Amino acid sequence: MIGGFPAIIHGGPFANIAQGTNSIIATRMGLTLSDYVVTEAGFGFDLGAEKFFDIKCRTAGLNPSAVVLVATVRALKFHGGA
């Protein structure tokens, strides 16, 4: 239980690396059993998120309602040329 609510946690075989995302089966199961499903799609947008959107969502016919992108001020300065 997380916060008093039941949770299904499925990491898949590669959940510990930057391009890891859970399986289509796990996402579909979560969608049938709950109102919200949260998928962590890796630590790098270039690997994890692109794999999630370009491969998993297209293959499964998923349309995410929201996306959370986490970035540090240091990374924004570095990649923004400041």
Evaluate whether residue 8 is within a structural domain.
no
Evaluate whether residue 65 is within a structural domain.
yes
Evaluate whether residue 76 is within a structural domain.
yes
Of the candidates 44, 42, 22, 41, the one whose C-alpha atom is nearest the C-alpha of residue 31 is: 22
Q: What angle do CA 68, 1, 21 make, to 5 degrees?
A: 40
Evaluate whether residue 11 is within a structural domain.
no
Count of domains for the chain: 1
Burial class (CB in 10 A: 0-12, 13-18, 19+), 52: buried
Q: What is the pLDDT of residue 20?
A: 64
Task: Give the residue numbers spanning the domain of 45.
Answer: 24-80
Evaluate whether residue 69 is within a structural domain.
yes
Q: What is the pLDDT of residue 18?
A: 53
Tens of pLDDT along the chain (82 residues) come to: 557 777 776 665 555 555 567 778 888 888 888 888 888 776 666 777 788 888 889 999 999 999 888 888 988 888 887 7
pTM for the predicted model, two decimal places: 0.64
Evaluate whether residue 14 is within a structural domain.
no
